[in-house]
Amino acid sequence: MLFTLAFVIVFSAIYYMLGNALSRNTRRDLLDDSVEIMRAYRKGNIEALKDYISGEAEGDGPANKLIRIIDLDGHVVLSSDTALWGNVPLPGKQDLGRKGPVIRAFRIPKRPGHEARAVTFFVGNYIVEEAVPIEWDVRLLGRLRKAFGLGLFLTVLVAIPSGWFMARRSSAQIKGIDRVARSIAKSADLSRRVPLKGSDDELDHLANTFNLMVERLERFLRELHDMMDNTAHDFKTPLTRIRAMAETGLGTRNPEEIQGTLVQIMDECDRFLSLLNAVMDISQARTGTLSLKKDNVPLKNLLQDVVDLYSGVAQERGIRFNVTYPREENLVLFADKKRLSQAISNVLDNALKYSSSGDTVALWTRSGTGSTEVCVADSGLGIPEEEIPRIFERFYRLDTSRSTSGRGIGLSLARAYVEAHRGTITVKSEPGKGSTFCIMIPREGGLD
C-alpha cells in the first residue's frame, strides 16, 4: 500500500510540474508575440499591424495560429484564416476590461477535443487576440496519464499481492515461534522446536536462535535432573551410615563407646559436608557463578605443597614418584590457589590410587607463551578409550575401580575448577599401560 501511495505521490508531482512548465512555456511564447505585435503597431499604425499579422499567421500555418483584430464595439476588423478554427467566441468583457495582456483557454470549435490558449491585449483603439493550439501539450499529458494508469495497475498487481505474501510469510514465522513458546510455557515440554524455512533471513535466524535457546535449556534441565538424582542417591549412603552409627551409640551405655561413636559421626558429617561443597562448587562452575579468589600464585610453591602431601603415600605404596618442577623459578600464575591445588591434587591422588607397587607416577610442567601446563602421568590401570569422556561426569566410576575407595567426584571437581580458570583438562590413556592427565591454565596477565 505504501509503495502504491508513493508511486501516486511521485507521479502526481511529476504530472503537476510538467503541466505547469508546458503552460508557462505557451504563456511566455504568447506574451513574446504580443510584444512584437505592439512594436509593429507603434512603427506604422493599424495598416502596418495588419501586414505584420497576416505575415505572422501565414508563417505558422492557419492551423497553428489564429490572430484577430477586434474594434472596441466588438467587431472583428481583421482575422487570419479561421477555416480550421471555426467560430471562436470573442473574449469576454471581463477579459477586455483589464489593461495588460490577458491569457485565456478555450476549446477549438472546429476541432472537437482540442484546446487552445489565447492572449488578448489592447493596441491603440483595437484589441488584438492571438491563439495557439495546445494539442501537443495535451497529448503529452494524456500519454503521461495513460502511462501512469498502466504503472499504477502493474504496481497494484505486483506490490499488493507480493506485500501481502511477504507479510503473511513473516507473520507465519512469528506466529510459529509464538505457538511453540506458548506450548512450552503451558506444557513445559522442551522437546518442541520451531520448524526452520531454510531461507537464511532474519526470521529464520530468530527461529534458529530460539531453538538453540530451548535446546540449551533442555540440556541444562536434564543435567540438573540427573544431578539431583545422583546427588540424592549418593547422599543416601553417608546419611544411612550416620544413622546406623547413631543407633549403635544409643544401644550402648559405655561412655567411651558413646564418645567414639560421636567422633565417627563427626568425621562422617565432615566428609558429607565436603561432598556437598564439592557438588555445589561443580554446579556453580557449570553455571559460571563460581567466584574465584585469584591472586599471584608462584607455581613452584604450589606444586611443592601438593607433592609434600602425596610423597608419603607414594612411598608407602611402593610407587616411584618423579617430580620435575618448573625451570622458571619465578613462574607465577594468576589463579585461585586453593582451587588450583585441589584440581592438581585430585589428579595426582587418582594417579597414585589407580597404580600399584612398582609403577611410576611422574609430575612435570610445560610453559607456553600464554599458558602453563601441569601434567601427571602414571603407569597404572589405564582407562578404555570409550570411557574417557565419562570419567569427568559427576559420580561416574569405572567398574574396574569399584574396589578402590572414592566417590566419583574428584575429576568432575578438577574439571570444574580448571574451567572456571578458563583452562582445560585433557587425558591420554591406554588400559594396562597408564594415563596422562594435563591441566592447562592461561596466565591471564599474572605473568612471572
- d(CA 172, CA 299) in angstroms, rounded, equals 59
Indicate the helix (H) or strand (E) that contains 377: strand 371-378
Which range touches ligand ADP (CB under 6 A), out of 41-49, 62-70, 129-137, 392-400? 392-400
Binding mask 291-330 for ligand ADP (x = CB under 6 A): ----------------------------------------
CA dist., res. 423 & res. 373, Å (int): 9
Question: Does 227 sit near ligand ADP (CB under 6 A)?
Answer: no
User: Least distance in Å: CB of 388 to ligand ADP?
Assistant: 9
List the one residue from 133, 326, 380, 423 that touches ligand ADP (CB under 6 A): 380
Rama region for 358: left / alpha / beta (φ>0; ψ in -120 to 50; rest): left
Of 261 and 350, nearer to ligand ADP (C-beta) is 350
* Of residues 133 and 380, the one with the C-beta less far from ligand ADP: 380
Cβ nearer to ligand ADP, comparing 194 with 361: 361
Q: Tell which one of 134, 411, 420, 438 touches ligand ADP (CB under 6 A).
A: 411
User: CA 300 → CA 217, 303, 328, 331, 364, distances in Å?
Assistant: 41, 5, 9, 7, 11
Which DSSP string do the residues of 126-162 spell out, in sequence order?
EEEEEEEE-HHHHHHHHHHHHHHHHHHHHHHHHHHHH
- 343 binds ligand ADP, rule: CB under 6 A: no
Pair 437, 374: CB distance under 8 Å: no
Q: Are 26 and 53 in contact (CB under 8 A)?
A: no
Task: Enumerate residues 6+ apart whose C-beta is below 8 A from 103.
Answer: 27, 30, 31, 117, 118, 119
Q: Does 406 bind ligand ADP (CB under 6 A)?
A: yes
As measured in angstroms, the least distance from the Cβ of 167 to ligand ADP is 56
Chain residue at closest Cβ approach to ligand ADP:
406
Residue closer to ligand ADP by CB (options 15, 395) is: 395
**Identity of the residue, 119 or 391, whose beta carbon is nearer to ligand ADP in the bound complex:** 391
168/390 with CB nearer ligand ADP:
390
Shortest Cβ 268–ligand ADP spacing (Å): 17
What are the E-state strand segments in 203-247?
Answer: none
Rule CB under 6 A: choose which of 111, 114, 241, 407 binds ligand ADP. 407
Q: How far is the CB of 371 from ligand ADP (least distance, A)?
A: 23
For ligand ADP, which is the closer residue by CB, 4 or 400? Answer: 400
Identity of the residue, 146 or 433, whose beta carbon is nearer to ligand ADP in the bound complex: 433
Is the Cβ of residue 215 or residue 385 nearer to ligand ADP in the bound state?
Answer: 385
Which residue of 401, 419, 424, 442 would you call a contact of ligand ADP, by CB under 6 A?
401
- For residues 434 and 70, give the distance between their C-alpha atoms in angstroms, rounded to a whole number: 126
Query: Residue 388: what are its φ and ψ, rounded to 5°?
Result: -55, -45
In the complex, the smallest distance separating the C-beta of residue 224 from ligand ADP, rounded to whole angstroms, is 20
**Choice between 33 and 234, CB closer to ligand ADP:** 234
Q: Which stretch binds ligand ADP (CB under 6 A): 109-117, 240-248, 323-331, 349-357?
A: 349-357
Cα distances (angstroms) measured from residue 149 to each of 4, 103, 138, 215? 12, 31, 16, 54
CB 38 within 8 A of CB 123: yes
Residues 11, 85, 321, 354: which binds ligand ADP (CB under 6 A)?
A: 354
Q: Which helix (H) or strand (E) holds 334?
A: strand 332-336
Give which of 209, 41, 240 is closest to 122, Cα–Cα: 41
Alpha-carbon distance 1 to 162, whole Å? 11
Residue 391 binding ligand ADP, by CB under 6 A = yes
Count CA atoms closer than 13 A to 383's CA, side-chain side. Answer: 23
The pairing of beta strand 294-298 with beta strand 66-71? unpaired
> Contact residues for ligand ADP (CB under 6 A)?
346, 350-351, 354, 378, 380-383, 391, 396-398, 401, 406-412, 435
